[in-house]
Structure 1
Amino acid sequence: MEYINAKFVSQKIIKTRWRPISSTSLQQPEVFATGSWDNEDNKVSIWSVAEQGMQDDYEGDPQLLCEYKHDGDVMDLQFLDQERIVTASSTGSVTIFRHYQNSQTLSVNQRWERAHYHSCDNAPCTGVVCNSPEIVTVGEDGRINLLRVDHKGIVRTIDNADSSTIHAVTFLRTTEILTVNSIGHLKMWDFRQQGNEPSQILSLTGDRVPLHCVDRHPNQQHIVATGGQDGMLCIWDVRQGNMPYSLMEAHSAEMWEVHFHPSSPDHLFTCSEDGSLWHWENYTTTDTPSFLQGGRNTTIMSRSTNAPASINQSLISSWLTSDSSKGRLETTNMLPSQTMSVNSLDVLGQCLVCGTDGEAIYVTKQVPM
């Protein structure tokens, strides 16, 4: 793809996230964070893609603003707000870092040691999601923790939430979360309930294929996307049934992350161990282009159930279109060539960033929307 910059950073990047911008802002994001893994010394780093005095279409290298040594591998990383970043560690700890923008420095603001653990050792904290002031973490120990900023202890723990590793977590609503695990389960949890049981369990049929990532549609929260070990993209409608709404061939190896575009959710992005980063564009008949350069048509592999009759048809997402004649799904590889594992991606506005095991980060400010 044109206008994508590679920056070699001498460390394997496992997570990357844009600093959030105001929903009313017309500016594109300029600052992102990365976390490394499998290095002698792992780091949390802050980067800028702002180019002072350059024309709008200039694509300069990301510039390192500051960094801080991280204990253990960075397993996950999320911005809590404009200044604070939450990381999950392979040591089981959860840390809040504060970014001081005036001095361009990072410091530890708060830490929960051994938030995740086995009886005889620490357990990696595998996922974190933020909805300030609350933070939810999941781990290899099958535990779910509810944390709160400036609260030293853990507010609530679901100790035996899962008998297997929980790989990722996201908010469904303010009091509800979704988790995916290593035996192909998508589980919903409601913190208003006092028990330790999920409010709903959905699962892949057949083999217990581990699910590695999950994201929900930003506008229609019943629509959820997951990806896992087999590289398939799964779309779920959590209002009905307990199986995926559709399965689509995506990658030839593990899918590590899936993200709906936050403001244009007909666009979705996935990245994989196979070195690819796919941009999925879901067209309806009213806006389908005659030809998309570099794209490919994608076949839906499994059942497509009809939406409930009570739902206004105009509100049904194109991701749940069961009539193939009314839409088309095309994908484009965002990276110029196959590389080592693409571990993480984030997209905001027209800006996309991804991190790889090839010790490189890739940035573009011109995602076609």
Structure 2
Amino acid sequence: MRKPGEFESVSPEAGGVAYGRRHGRGAQTNRSGRFEPIAYEPVDDGWETLGDLEALQTEVQEVPARRIITKNQSPDIGFDRSINPYRGCEHGCIYCFARPTHAFLGMSPGLDFETKLFAKTNAAQALERELAEPNYRPRMIAIGSNTDPYQPIERRYRIMRRILEVLDATNHPVGIVTKSALVLRDLDILQSMAERGLVKVALSVTTLDHKLARAMEPRASTPEKRLETVEKLSAAGVPTSVMVAPVIPGLTDAEMERILERASVAGAAEAGYVLLRLPLEIGDLFVEWLRANCPDRADRVLSLMRQTRGGKLYEAKWGERMEGDGPYAWMIGRRFQMAAERLGLNKRSALRTDLFTPPVRPGQQLSLL
């Protein structure tokens, strides 16, 4: 039994903090979060080696969740509630818009976000309790909208599996977004829920370039594995979609049509896209990564990003933050629309809510019928 605040090592890699690249990690550094009174930044004094450094260890702290369903009122996303089984994400995607949430924990949105993780081990029990509340009304729950529920540590903790078991038993609709082929582990539950119109699964595909994907999304499944997962889910009768997300101007936007074509062949029924978002600390982290990994394209990528964000690297305005603004953003949106229509990927289907059966509350009398 671990004490509160104590992390458990789940990898044999040794740790350490130094300046340079970390094998298997997305962020280049561990920049301080926005709430810290002192900011620490790496400085090369000529003594450190700037090549690959000793790999950082993944650490996990088990934390109880008081409540597990998070509500939102955002006008530009298609759901009002979500579940995040984990805080932090081992996939290490450099562009992940969930990175700034680690600053609330006094940690860095950089390397800390992908190496110091929090597992909500009682998530299924908390979910069952909340679904049993007398005033609860079912609507689709989104899982994977923040951190990935099928990140590598899910193989051990199986929190997502237990959440699905609760949703399956209560006939509650769920939409899942992931970058991991691990979702196929739960195909038995997903297939059963799909037969009742209760589930959709979206695979996020940013690029088909394996080298770029390895640098940008170091511990996510390869692009080919993700498309193969779409094919297997579709073949099993699970409604699938592909998110071309994020679209990075000057780096990945040229691949949009090819990704959609591959997704269509794999059996996807729907598709979506999101323009690269760089809120708060992600801006510095992404620029740092871009100059280290794509120095020949960095200036063009940043210039195009500013063209889609009113001269800034990011604009958080409702209605614009997902798709951007200006001629270049319009062109990306129009290209997506035309490709999706041509491939028949613009179908939309709603999940059922009328089958919902609330869990029995402790002490509640069971129905005779």
Higher strand share goes to which structure?
A: 1
Instruction: Give the TM-score of the pair, scaled to structure 2.
Output: 0.26
Higher helix share goes to which structure?
A: 2
User: Greater CA radius of gyration, 1 or 2?
Assistant: 2
Higher relative contact order (CA closer than 8 Å, sequence separation 6+): 2
Instruction: Give the TM-score of the pair, scaled to structure 1.
Output: 0.26
